[in-house]
Amino acid sequence: MAEFIDLVLLAMLALTALRIIFLKDLFAVVMLFGIYSFLSALIFVNLDAVDVAFTEASVGAGISTVLMLVTLAMTGRKEKQSTHSTILPLFVVLVTGAALIYGTLDMPPFGHPDNPVHQHVAPRYIEESPKEVGLPNMVTSVLASYRGFDTLGETVVVFSAVIGVLSLLGVRRTKKKDLESGLETHKVLHVVSKIIIPLVILFALYVQFHGDFGPGGGFQAGVIAAAAFILYALVLGLPKAFAVVGPKFLQWMAAAGVLLYASVGLYSMYKGGNFLDYNTLAADPIAGQHYGIIIIELGVGITVFAVMLNIFYAFGSQAERSNIQ
C-alpha cells in the first residue's frame, strides 16, 4: 500500500513539475510550487520521515511560498518571452540526468533492509540512542546530540540568512499615514484570525517541547510560531505586528538564540568535555543529555522564530513601500 501511494504521489509531483516548466503566469507557478512542497512533504510522511515532512510543509509550502508571493507583488506576475536558446540548457540537463540514471544502476534496491545505509552507523542510532540519549525520537537524538554540530551550523545558516536579508532590504518603520494596511475589508477574517493565532502559538509551544517524543523540535516550533505572527501581520497590517514584536528586538533574539546554543557547548568545554558534550552537563549522563537537548532546541527555536519573522518583516515593509509609491 505504501508503495502504491508513493507511486501516485510521485506521478502527481512529476506532472506538477512539468506544468511549472511551461507556465508563464508566475502567480500560478508559485501556487504550484506550494503544491509541490505539500506533495513532497506527503512523500516524506509516506517514507517515514515525519520530522522532515513537518519541516518541509511549514517551510517549503509556508514560508517560501509566502516570501515568493510578496516578491511577486513587487516584481510583476508575467514571465516575458525568453530570448535564450533552450538547446544548451536541455543538453546540460540531459547529460546530468543521464549521469544520474547511470549512477542509479548500481544503487542498492529501494527499501531493502540489507542496504549498506542500514548496516553501518545507523544501527547504533536505532539501537543505542534510546539508552545513550534517553529520547524515544531518534531523529531528535541524532539531530541534537550525535550531530549537534551540524545543527549548530544549521542555526548559523539561518542567522546568516537574516544578515543577508537585512543588509539587502532593511526593515523600515512604517509611518503613521499607512496604518490602514492589512485586509481591512475582510471582517470575518479578522475575527477568525484572532481566534486562531493564540491556538497556533500554543501548538508551537507543544511542538517545541514535545519534539523529544514525537515529530517536531525547535526548528519546526520556531517556524510555526513565526507563521502565527505572519498571519497576524497579513491580516492586521505590519504596523500592528511591529507593535507586538519589533524588528530590532527580533534581531537581538536571533543573535541570542545562536549564543544560547553555543553557550551550551562552551559550558560543556568548561566542564571538561568536548564541545557540545552534553554528558558533562549533569552528574548523570542521561540527565545531561536531556538538559543539553532542551536548551539547544530552545536556542534553535528562538533563532528560527526571530529570523523567519524578521525576514517576513523585511519583505513586507518593502512591499508596502512600493505599494504606497
Using the 8-state DSSP alphabet, how is residue 216 labeled?
Answer: -
CB of 79 to other proteins, least distance (A): 4
294 binds other proteins (CB under 8 A): no
Write the DSSP string, 79-105: PPPP-S-SHHHHHHHHHHHHHHHHHHT
Number of CB atoms found within 10 A of residue 229's CB: 21
164 binds other proteins (CB under 8 A): yes
Q: What is the rounded distance in angstroms from the CA atom of residue 93 to the CA atom of residue 103? A: 15
Question: Which position among 220, 250, 267, 306 is part of the footprint of other proteins (CB under 8 A)?
Answer: 220
5 binds other proteins (CB under 8 A): yes
Q: What is the rounded distance in angstroms from the CA atom of residue 248 to the CA atom of residue 270? A: 32
213 binds other proteins (CB under 8 A): yes
246 binds other proteins (CB under 8 A): no
Residue showing cell 499607512: 178
229 binds other proteins (CB under 8 A): no
158 binds other proteins (CB under 8 A): yes
Determine contact, residues 214/300, Cβ cutoff 8 Å.
no
- Per-residue contact string for residues 135-154; x = within reach of other proteins by CB under 8 A: -xxxx-xxx-xxxxxxxxxx
CB of 163 to other proteins, least distance (A): 5
Restricted to residues 58-97, the positions that interact with other proteins (CB under 8 A) are: 58-77, 79-84, 86, 89-90, 92-94, 96-97
Determine contact, residues 30/69, Cβ cutoff 8 Å.
yes
Question: Which position among 208, 224, 298, 309 is part of the footprint of other proteins (CB under 8 A)?
Answer: 224
Q: Which is nearer to other proteins, 86 or 175 (by Cβ)?
A: 86
Cell numbers standing for residue 36: 509541490
216 binds other proteins (CB under 8 A): yes
Cell numbers standing for residue 311: 525576514
Number of CB atoms found within 10 A of residue 263's CB: 15
CB of 243 to other proteins, least distance (A): 19
Determine contact, residues 37/56, Cβ cutoff 8 Å.
yes
Q: What is the rounded distance in angstroms from the CA atom of residue 107 to the CA atom of residue 97? A: 15
Q: What is the rounded distance in angstroms from the CA atom of residue 325 to the CA atom of residue 308? A: 26
CB of 192 to other proteins, least distance (A): 4
Strand partners, 25: 78
CB of 207 to other proteins, least distance (A): 7
Q: Which is nearer to other proteins, 131 or 176 (by Cβ)?
A: 131
Using the 8-state DSSP alphabet, how is residue 108 labeled?
Answer: P
Restricted to residues 12-41, the positions that interact with other proteins (CB under 8 A) are: 12-21, 25-38, 40-41
Question: Which position among 48, 173, 244, 284 is part of the footprint of other proteins (CB under 8 A)?
Answer: 48
306 binds other proteins (CB under 8 A): no
